[in-house]
Structure 1
Amino acid sequence: MNDLLIHVRSLDPWTRAAEYGVGLAALLEASVTGAFVYPSPLQVAPTYSSPELLAAIFASARETAGLARAQAQPFLHWARERGAPQAAWHVAEGDAAEALAHIGTWHDLLLLDRGSDEPSTRGPAELARLILAVGLPCVVVPRHAIVPVSLDCIAIGWNGSQEAVRAIHAALPLLQRATRVVLLQGPLRRTYPEITWKPPLDIDLYLQRHAVHAEHRPLGNDAGEAGEALLEGAAHVGADLLVMGAYGRSRFSEWALGGATRHVLADAALPVLLRH
């Protein structure tokens, strides 16, 4: 992975995603881009607004844009100090998912903050919408600092699903750097009866072709507790990163992730790479 993108949601201090993303770029000797996205005044203005209110909203947006653009040199300097000399800074106006999807067209991985318990911060629906909309593998970073950034042990949530295969494919450059890869194997996803039979992937052979040797660690058979089992398994093997598919059991709307994914995003103490 040569180009990492960070959704920077706070300029002072830098967020956990920024800290982890810059550290990961240093580890991978990759370039890193910080992207700050603020809403368009037209997005936040009430439907019926007085001229005075509209003027204030536009003035506030201009001030936010100015403050964000002024962070370019501080971000580049901060990244260089932490071992990532190839850094860039972008400021965008509009919907975060659309802006990140656009910038992401020339990046390999997106770093996102899980957010905090404060009501003003990103909610689970917004985080899910970003993961499903940007078209990039995403690493969701927990609320506490990850120091040092390491890829010594990577755990994979494996159930044979297409989402899990996509996540593993996206994570191959990271898996190839790990000294230990552990497949946390749950019940294999059953194919819907109305769909033509599809041959299963031989995951061990696939990984071996990419110079990755994986251990197997079985999980329980209770699908309702899959998220908890994944986190327990990752903690047991001392994983630095968990790789899993973004969908779970639910696909009823673009913002609703499956139950296992929601549980992992809510409670994970380690970074999680997802790909839908």
Structure 2
Amino acid sequence: MAYRRLLLPLTGTAAGEAALSTALIAARIWQAHVHCLHVRVDARDVAPLAGEGLSGAMIEEMMAATERESGDRAGRVRALFERFTSAAGDVTLADNPDTAAKSQGPTLSFSSVAGREEEVVAQQSRLYDMAVVPHPEAGEDVSSSDALHAVLFDSGRPVLIAPREVPQDIGTRICIAWNGTAESAAAVAAALPWLHKAGAIRILTAPEYQRRGPAAEGIEAYLRWHGIAVEIVTFKPQTREVGAGLLGAVRDFDADLLVMGAYSHSRLRQLILGGVTRHVLENADIPVLMCR
């Protein structure tokens, strides 16, 4: 079992560059291919403004300005990709599986397309084993991470959220956040390749985190059937914050990957009231593998 094809929605931000480095670490582990996809703003999306009282000439000018800005941004992102691949040294550019199969290491490719980022990324992610997405920028509300939520809710694939700082390694020590939900079960299934390679695995559980479904002992038994040994640890919320308690337990284990389900409560409820998923998305400092 392995991940062979990873999708990275590439942006020109610092978080985007950290995600690119994180994706390459994963690609080196799995001898995988990373496709970097930049989604340009489609100038035609400006056209609906015709109903807002703007003249045709004004709309055409806005479309032209959007096209220029989008093209400039795409050029900067492409330049970032080229600088990165030149500095990496051990990667091969490949745009098809036959070329990639001849490589002795990870392979990369790049494309830039016009469209709505969340739609394009979610749809294209369905053709990959996993999507790697940037961590929300510092100070950014996690609810504004459209690409991240699109992959989680509409791709049917796991998503690896890269940390803001590039990790040293991924998947040598793994924590599983278990609460008995279908989402957490999907995350464990998606993480099986990582779990088979890990040196140590800990299942984290808490009464405040558990939902209706199997207890941690059930998933421990499931993993034993796969030949994977784990230990179960009950963590305590910190000042009533379950997410903070979970991340504290992850740090105590010195984990370099957290596996968990996303939004076992509704996304709207978590975005308004807060929740474990939101807290982890905003505060995790290691890669997080999520499924919805």
Matched residue SS, 1:264: helix
Cα shift at 1:73: 5.1
- Superposition pairs for residues 240-251 of structure 1, below 5 Å? 240-251=256-267
Q: Which residue of 2 aligns with 1:124?
A: 142
| Closer, same or farther: CA 199–149 of 1 in aligned 2, 3 Å | closer
Going from structure 1 to structure 2, the CA distance change for 1:255 and 1:220 (only over 3 Å counts) comes to: closer
Root-mean-square deviation over aligned CA pairs: 3.1
Match of 1:23 among 22, 25, 44: 25
**How much does 1:62 deviate?**
3.8
Query: Using a 3 Å threshold, how does the CA distance of structure 1 residues 68 and 240 change in structure 2: closer, same or farther?
Result: closer
Question: What letter matches 2:206 in structure 1?
Answer: G
Cα separation, partners in 2 of 1:68 and 1:264, compared to 1, 3 Å? closer
2:129 aligns with one of 108, 123, 147:
108
Structure 2: which amino acid aligns with 1:274?
Answer: M
Determine the structure 1 residue equivalent to 2:157: 136
1:219 & 1:13 partners in 2: Cα distance?
30
Q: Residues 7 and 54 from structure 1, CA distance in 2 versus in 1: closer, same or farther, beyond 3 angstroms? A: closer
Decide whether aligned partners of structure 1 residues 258 and 273 sit closer, same or farther in structure 2, where only a CA change above 3 A counts. farther
Supply the AA of the counterpart residue of 1:156.
Answer: I
Say if 2:185 is the partner of 1:176: no
Contact 2:175 2:203 in 1 (8 A): yes
| Alpha-carbon distance in structure 2 between the residues aligned to 1:244 and 1:227 | 12
Aligned residue in 2 for 1:165: 185
- Cα distance in structure 2, aligned partners of 1:159 and 1:12: 33
| Unmatched 5+ stretches in structure 2 | 93-104
1:204 aligns with 2:204: no
1:152 counterpart letter in structure 2: T
* Residues 75, 89 of structure 1: 8 Å contact kept: no
Which of 118, 128, 150 does residue 97 from structure 1 map onto?
118
Task: Quote the residue 2:277 is aligned against.
Answer: 261
CA contact (8 A) 1:248 1:258 kept: no
Corresponding residue of 2:34: 32
1:149 paired to 2:158: no
Give how far 1:250 is off.
Answer: 3.2
* 2:106 counterpart of 1:85: yes
Alignment match, 2:100 = none
Whole-angstrom distance in 1 between the partners of 2:76 and 2:85: 15
Contact 1:126 1:255 in 2 (8 A): no
Distance 1:218 1:199 in 2: 11
User: What corresponds to 1:60 in structure 2?
Assistant: 69
State percent identity of aligned pairs.
29
Residue 197 of structure 2 aligns to a residue in which SS? coil
CA distance in structure 2 between the aligned counterparts of 1:61 and 1:112, rounded to whole angstroms:
20
Mapped contact 1:246–1:274 kept (Cα < 8 A): yes
**1:133 maps to amino acid:** D
Corresponding position: 1:236 with 2:262: no
- Work out the CA distance in 2 between the residues paired with 1:62 and 1:125: 26
Is residue 15–residue 137 contact of structure 2 (8 Å, CA) maintained in 1? no
Map of 1:2 onto structure 2: 4
Aligned partner letter, 2:142: P
8 Å CA contact 1:6–1:18 kept in 2: the answer is yes
- The one-letter amino acid of 1:189's match is R
> Following TM superposition, by how much is the alpha carbon of 1:262 offset from its aligned partner in structure 2, in angstroms?
0.6
- For 1:51-75, what per-residue CA distance to the aligned partner results, in whole angstroms no more than 9, with x for missing partners? 3333222333344445555666555
Report if aligned partners of 1:8, 1:36 keep a CA contact under 8 Å in 2.
yes
Number of residue pairs the alignment of both structures matches = 266
Amino acid at match of 1:90: S
TM-score by length of 1: 0.83
Where 1:155 maps in the other structure, the secondary structure is: strand
What is the DSSP-based 3-state SS (H/G/I as helix, E as strand, rest coil) of the residue aligned with 1:202? helix
For residues 81 and 244 of structure 2, what CA distance do their matches in structure 1 show? 40
1:190 partnered with 2:190: no
Q: 1:154 to 1:70 in 2, by over 3 A?
A: same
Letter aligned with residue 6 of structure 2: L
